[in-house]
């Protein structure tokens, strides 16, 4: 009698069952493990073992298997997802596994009637970042349908995880087991996204997208409030009119994220940080910044680093094709000297005299020690020393480029 009443309850829990099946299918595909989804009565409503559906799942009798248990909530109904050890022997930390399962549950719950929503979101973000959608009304409409909140000011963090996502498993040769390779890449992509979501303490993965070929993107809220502990203490300005505002905090967040991803994936990861650009269409400009920084950084310094335009040194002035971007970079680099006209005069005289301290001091009618004091102050303000060759080239180029805007 108990079995019949249980069966009736099971068959009438249509939406819960559909979500349970989606969760089971996705977890089985990505983790290659046993999956059991139970309702509030511990009745199995979906499982990788079809013969167990409709039966009671006794956790106390499964002590030989270390099951990871994650709650499943759907409106007024509650249940639990239990997963065992992966069949394929690939290890994953319990923390990452839990995050991954939570993401799958979130997606299955929201996307119950639209199973292609994840692919649609990836496509939408890809088109947005590449400037293929220019109607802001249409952008907002599509974003709302996909659960993306684009109202906060956002900047792009571009993550190259190709060495982790695309790396073949042991014994897997190129051109063989294509289906298995696709599943493995999808699983590793989800692992990496789960790590990002966990790192930023996000409620879900809606601001993360898969661009393909092992590249992931985060549309990171870039105002001081949302940058939290990475923002400088005492900096409460949310004025984002200046393109470089809060970039230092974004870079600190990028550095910390890189360390987390290295730890979680065991692979070399590279990150490109884009500046904030006003407006929704500014996301495409931010993506261009991040893409250019990542590309130039790889070319000149290799992978496994965080790159931003103002960290590239001479490479940024040489490699960036857009003149306006170079002018903005030059203005940013020299901005600490805007109120130091004496220092600007000093460094221009230093270059005019071929970086000769004696000749410069003589022209400026100052002592050599005074000149050294001024040069030291310049180095402390802009982080570049005019007496070092590479730094001097950057400062000289910045001075020339900045004059183009006047």
Does residue 319 fall inside a structural domain? no
Does residue 320 fall inside a structural domain? no
Last residue of a domain, one of 88, 109, 130: 109
Is residue 173 left, alpha or beta, with left meaning phi > 0 and alpha meaning psi from -120 to 50?
beta
Domain match, 25 and 47 both: yes
Q: Which residues of the chain have pLDDT under 50?
A: 1-13, 113, 115, 234-242
How far, in Å, CA of 332 to CA of 350, rounded?
Answer: 21
Domain match, 344 and 279 both: no
How far, in Å, CA of 51 to CA of 28, rounded?
Answer: 16
Three-state secondary-structure class, residue 291: helix
**Cβ atoms within 10 Å of 302's Cβ, excluding its own:** 10
Domain match, 275 and 351 both: no
Note whether 129 and 290 are within 8 A (CB): no
Domain match, 235 and 373 both: no
Note whether 231 and 249 are within 8 A (CB): yes
Note whether 288 and 273 are within 8 A (CB): no
How far, in Å, CA of 133 to CA of 321, rounded?
Answer: 23
pLDDT at residue 158, rounded to an integer: 97
Last residue of a domain, one of 251, 280, 312: 312
Output the domain CATH number for residue 387.
1.10.10.2840
Backbone angles phi, psi at 167, to 5 degrees: -65, 125
Output the domain CATH number for residue 279.
3.30.70
Dihedral (CA of 299, 192, 164, 162) sign: negative
pLDDT at residue 5, rounded to an integer: 36
Cα–Cα distance list, 374 to 25, 345, 359, 366, 368 (Å): 67, 10, 15, 11, 10
Please give the helix or strand (H or E) that residue 307 lies within, else none.
strand 306-307
Does residue 135 fall inside a structural domain? yes
Q: What is the pLDDT of residues 383-392, one digit of tens each?
A: 999 999 999 9
Cα–Cα distance list, 239 to 223, 245, 274 (Å): 8, 8, 17
CA 89 to chain centre: 28
Does residue 353 fall inside a structural domain? yes
Domain match, 56 and 72 both: yes
Q: Can you give the residue range of the structural domain that contains 380?
A: 332-403
Domain match, 395 and 262 both: no
**DSSP-assigned states of every residue in 1-16:** -HHHHHHHHHHH-HHH
Cα–Cα distance list, 70 to 23, 80, 81, 280 (Å): 11, 6, 5, 36
Note whether 283 and 291 are within 8 A (CB): no
Domain match, 249 and 276 both: yes
The model's pTM: 0.73
R_g (Cα) of the chain, nearest Å? 27
How far, in Å, CA of 360 to CA of 50, rounded?
Answer: 84
Domain match, 250 and 127 both: yes
Does residue 327 fall inside a structural domain? no
Domain match, 267 and 369 both: no
**DSSP-assigned states of every residue in 207-229:** TEEEEETTEEEEEEE-SHHHHGG
Domain match, 267 and 124 both: yes
Mean pLDDT, the chain, rounded, equals 83
Three-state secondary-structure class, residue 134: coil
Does residue 323 fall inside a structural domain? no
Write the secondary structure of 332-361 as one string of H (helix), E (strand) and C (coil).
Answer: HHHHHHCCCHHHHHHHHHHHHCCCCHHHHH
Domain match, 199 and 272 both: yes
Here the tokens at position 85 are 């050890």
Please give the helix or strand (H or E) that residue 82 lies within, else none.
strand 77-86
How far, in Å, CA of 138 to CA of 142, rounded?
Answer: 6
Output the domain CATH number for residue 18.
3.30.450
Does residue 367 fall inside a structural domain? yes
Non-local (6+) Cβ contacts of 190 within 8 A are 30, 100, 103, 104
Domain match, 121 and 235 both: yes
For the chain, how many structural domains are there in total?
A: 3
Cα within 13 Å of Cα(8), Cβ side: 4
Last residue of a domain, one of 109, 132, 163: 109
Non-local (6+) Cβ contacts of 159 within 8 A are 192, 196, 215, 216, 217, 218, 257, 261, 269, 270, 271
Q: What is the pLDDT of residues 314-330, one digit of tens each?
A: 999 989 888 999 998 99
- Catalogue the E-assigned strands of 40-152: 44-47, 68-74, 77-86
pLDDT at residue 6, rounded to an integer: 35
Does residue 326 fall inside a structural domain? no
- Measure the CA angle with vertex 251, ends 248 and 252; round to 5°: 90
């Amino acid at each position: 009698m108990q079995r019949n009443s249980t069966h009736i309850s099971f068959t009438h829990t249509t939406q819960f069952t559909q979500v349970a099946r989606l969760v089971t299918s996705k977890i089985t595909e990505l983790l290659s493990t046993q999956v059991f989804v139970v309702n509030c009565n511990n009745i199995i409503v979906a499982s990788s073992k079809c013969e167990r559906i409709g039966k009671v799942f006794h956790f106390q009798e499964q002590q030989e298997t270390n099951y990871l248990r994650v709650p499943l909530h759907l409106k007024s109904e509650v249940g639990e997802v239990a997963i065992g050890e992966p069949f394929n022997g690939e290890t994953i930390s319990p923390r990452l596994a839990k995050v991954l399962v939570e993401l799958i549950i979130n997606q299955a719950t929201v996307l119950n009637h639209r199973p292609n929503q994840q692919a649609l979101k990836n496509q939408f973000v890809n088109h947005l970042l590449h400037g293929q959608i220019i109607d802001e009304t249409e952008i907002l409409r599509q974003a709302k349908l996909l659960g993306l909140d684009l109202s906060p000011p956002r900047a792009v963090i571009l993550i190259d995880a190709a060495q982790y996502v695309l790396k073949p498993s042991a014994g897997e040769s190129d051109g063989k087991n294509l289906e298995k390779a696709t599943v493995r890449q999808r699983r590793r992509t989800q692992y990496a996204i789960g790590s990002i979501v966990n790192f930023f303490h996000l409620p879900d993965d809606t601001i993360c997208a898969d661009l393909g070929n092992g590249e992931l993107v985060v549309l990171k809220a870039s105002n001081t409030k949302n940058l939290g502990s990475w923002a400088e203490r005492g900096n409460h300005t949310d004025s984002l009119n200046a393109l470089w505002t809060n970039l230092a905090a974004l870079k600190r967040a990028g550095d910390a994220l890189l360390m987390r991803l290295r730890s979680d994936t065991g692979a070399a990861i590279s990150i490109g940080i884009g500046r904030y650009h006003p407006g929704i269409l500014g996301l495409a400009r931010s993506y261009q910044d991040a893409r250019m920084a990542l590309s130039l950084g790889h070319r000149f310094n290799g992978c496994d680093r965080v790159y931003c335009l103002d960290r590239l040194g001479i490479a940024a002035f040489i490699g960036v094709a857009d003149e306006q971007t170079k002018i903005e970079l030059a203005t940013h680099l020299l901005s600490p000297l805007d109120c130091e006209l004496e220092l600007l005069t000093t460094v221009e005289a230093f270059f005019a005299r071929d970086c000769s301290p004696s000749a410069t001091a003589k022209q400026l009618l100052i002592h050599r020690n005074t000149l050294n004091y001024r040069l030291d102050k310049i180095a402390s303000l802009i982080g570049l020393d005019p007496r070092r060759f590479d730094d001097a080239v950057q400062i000289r180029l910045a001075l020339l480029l900045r004059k183009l805007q006047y």
